[in-house]
Each structure stands twice: as C-alpha cells, then as structure tokens.
Amino acid sequence: MIACPKSRFVLELENLTPAFTAAPIMHANFATLWRYLKTFTSLSNGGDIILIVGPSNNGKSQLLGLLTKHIRETLYPFVELGHVPIIGAKANPSRDSRMTPKQLIRSLLEDGGHPLFDPQRREQAGFYPRENRFSEDGLLGNLTELLSRRGVRYVLIDEGQAITRTKDPQFAATLMESLKTLAGSDRNLVVCGGYDLLEPALSVRSHLAVRTIVLHLAPYELTTGLTEWKRILKTLSTTPKLEGLGRVFNDSAQMLLTESNGCVGVLERRLKDCLSWCSAQSIPFDKAALSERRPTKLQWEVQRKDIADGIDQLHQVDWEAGAGGEVTLIGLAKKKQAETPRTVPRPKKQKPFQRNPDRFPGVR
C-alpha cells in the first residue's frame, strides 16, 4: 500500500488558490456545497453523476480542488501500487471550435498514466505514436481498461460548458450521455461548468437526467445577499494585501455586489485590477478609484444574462391543486418553439464534365 498519488490534473486543481487568502473563503453558498459534498462522498457507493454549475469566476474549480483533497486524504489515504483513485481533464474545444469525444478521452488517458498517452512515459520510452492512429472505439477501449486496472473511483471534468460547443445540440446531449459510462458501479463522475451544461444534461436524455444530481454554486442576490457580501469583504480586509481597507469596502459594498453580479471571483479580479491601477497612477485606493475601474457594459451584461438564464433553467417542479381538490405535480410551462423557416432543398450537383462534349459548337 502506498499514499494516494496525485495526477497532473489533481495537482493543478489543488494548486488553485484565491488571490488574497491562503484558502477559499467559506462564505455561505460555498460552505453549504462543501459540507454537502463531504457527506455525499462518504455515503455514495458509486454510479452517481454530480453536476456543479454556476456563473463564471464563482469558485467552482476551487470547490473541485477541495473535493479532490478530501477524497485523497480521507476516503482513499492509501491505495495499492499502480492505482490512481482520481483522474480528470478539462473539456476544451479542439477542432473548428467544437468539442470532440476523442479529445476528452485522450486527456483522461494522459492523466491516468496510460503508457501510450502519458507524455513522460512516451519520452522515456522514445515511442511517439501518430496522433491519428487511434480511432474513437480504440480510445474508449483503452479508457475502459485503464479505469479498471488503475482502480479509478472518481472521474472529474472541469470547464464542462465546453461540451456544448458543438454545431448540433443533439450531439452535445449524446456526448454528455456517453460520459455516463464513466460513472460505474464503484465509480462516480463529477462535471463542473457553466449553466450551458444544464440543457444537454437534463432536458434531452432521460437515462442521463435521472442519474444526475445538480449542485448550484449560486451568486449572491442583489437584494438579499448584502449581509454575507459585507462579511466576505470584512474577511478580505484582514489579509496583508488589503489591510486597512475595511472602511472603503463597507462603504462600497452595495456597489461591488451589484457590479460583480454577486460572484466572489469577479470581486477578487476587480480588487486586483483596482490595486494595480492605483499603484500605476499613484492614487489612493478609495471608492472613487473603484468607480473609475468599473466593468465595461459588455462584461457586466453578458454575465448578468448568463446568470438570469441559468437560474430560469434551475426552477424546480411544483405541486398544484386542481378544481376537484386533487394534487398533481407540474413542471415549467413549455415555451412555444418558434417555427423555423422551411429550407429550400439545394439543387442536385451536376457532373463537372460531359461524357462526349461538343468542343466546337459553332462549327457544323
């Protein structure tokens, strides 16, 4: 038995740290999901799919990093030689700005240390197979074998919203369903990403939707989240880089909450930007400086729309009492789909050359 090893993906996740604090701030929304994940992983016996969604820059990857550390140190502190309990990959568009299954499978094989795909092992062996040597079926076979031989218990996928970057939404749903096989009888799948994941994961394939547990790392609402937001700012004001700015933060709390759309990661980036600007301009860090470095209209509106659309998709089903007193379960009212204009079929392509062309039609 050896100590639980770290794959490259796990090492990268656990090295993610906030800008001003040594560890993620345990604010209310973050701490609730963290406690949930610790309890759920201790109860799960495999076959579960966890979908962590939320707006950009709100701490989803940091939550995933805490989860990997908890799994390594608490659930699987010691493993057999050659076993890797956690592997993972980032979903990235790879061809024509589209997501392909082969890219994700290859990334998982590399992180799991497969000898044909691990860059370090290939360099040591001096063996460099052609990139197009393996078909998708062959890659899937290699991945299935690796999951068994390496004793993988958790498969993690970060930046999962890239899965939806396809020309056909149905293909995104099919790709999500193919990931379902990564959650075996003794293995769980955790996918972390933006709100774009919700539709292909929950609204197309029933076999995938009913096995998925959705966790929402929600931003703070502009009307009810001010108290917790002030507590976050107070915690930040005690760090060395922001020491002494408590009064400025308290006076600017409502402004920062609104302009950051309630996202802690966006707040940290704003503070880094303003600190750098004040240093470059040799001006004090105050409310006027924060106002000067407000986000652009495009930045603010695109995230605001993303959050509004995501929360609208996360509405739960409800019970409704009928006229006769019976109680029925109802969902969201289906929106009428706009009728798509009928496409005119393209003319059939003609042969580029005639069989017996008349090369001199004017001469008879």
Closest CA to 17 of 55, 49, 62, 51: 62
Burial class from Cβ neighbours inside 10 Å (0-12, 13-18, 19+) for residue 140 reads middle
Predicted confidence at residue 287, as pLDDT, reads: 92
Predicted confidence at residue 336, as pLDDT, reads: 42
Predicted confidence at residue 309, as pLDDT, reads: 92
Phi and psi of 141, rounded to 5°?
-65, -40
Closest CA to 118 of 136, 142, 148: 142
Predicted confidence at residue 167, as pLDDT, reads: 66
**Which residue has 């749903």 as its token pair?**
173
Predicted confidence at residue 360, as pLDDT, reads: 64
Q: 0.85 cut: is pTM over it?
A: no
Predicted confidence at residue 335, as pLDDT, reads: 44
In this structure, are strands 327-330 and 318-321 parallel, antiparallel, or unpaired? antiparallel
2-216 sits in which CATH class?
alpha beta
Rounded distance between C-alpha atoms, residue 91 and residue 294, angstroms: 31
Predicted confidence at residue 339, as pLDDT, reads: 47
Joined together, the tokens standing for residue 359 give 């090369």
Which secondary-structure segment (H or E) carries 87? strand 86-90
Rounded distance between C-alpha atoms, residue 165 and residue 169, angstroms: 9
Closest CA to 13 of 105, 117, 143, 111: 111
Domain range annotation of the chain: 2-216, 226-303
Predicted confidence at residue 209, as pLDDT, reads: 84
Q: What angle do CA 117, 212, 202 make, to 5 degrees?
A: 100
Predicted confidence at residue 142, as pLDDT, reads: 85
Predicted confidence at residue 255, as pLDDT, reads: 94
List the chain pLDDT tens, one digit each, 364 residues: 888 888 889 999 989 889 899 999 999 999 999 999 999 999 998 889 999 999 999 999 999 999 999 999 999 988 888 899 999 988 877 666 666 777 888 888 888 888 777 767 666 666 666 666 677 778 888 888 888 888 899 999 998 888 777 766 677 777 777 788 888 888 999 999 999 888 888 877 788 888 889 999 999 998 889 999 999 999 999 999 999 899 999 999 999 999 999 999 999 999 999 999 999 999 999 999 999 999 999 999 999 999 999 999 888 777 777 666 666 666 555 444 444 455 555 655 555 556 666 666 666 5
Q: Are 69 and 37 in contact (CB under 8 A)?
A: no
SS (H, E, C) 158-209: ECHHHHHCCCCHHHHHHHHHHHHHHCCCCCEEEEEECHHHHHHHHCCCHHHH
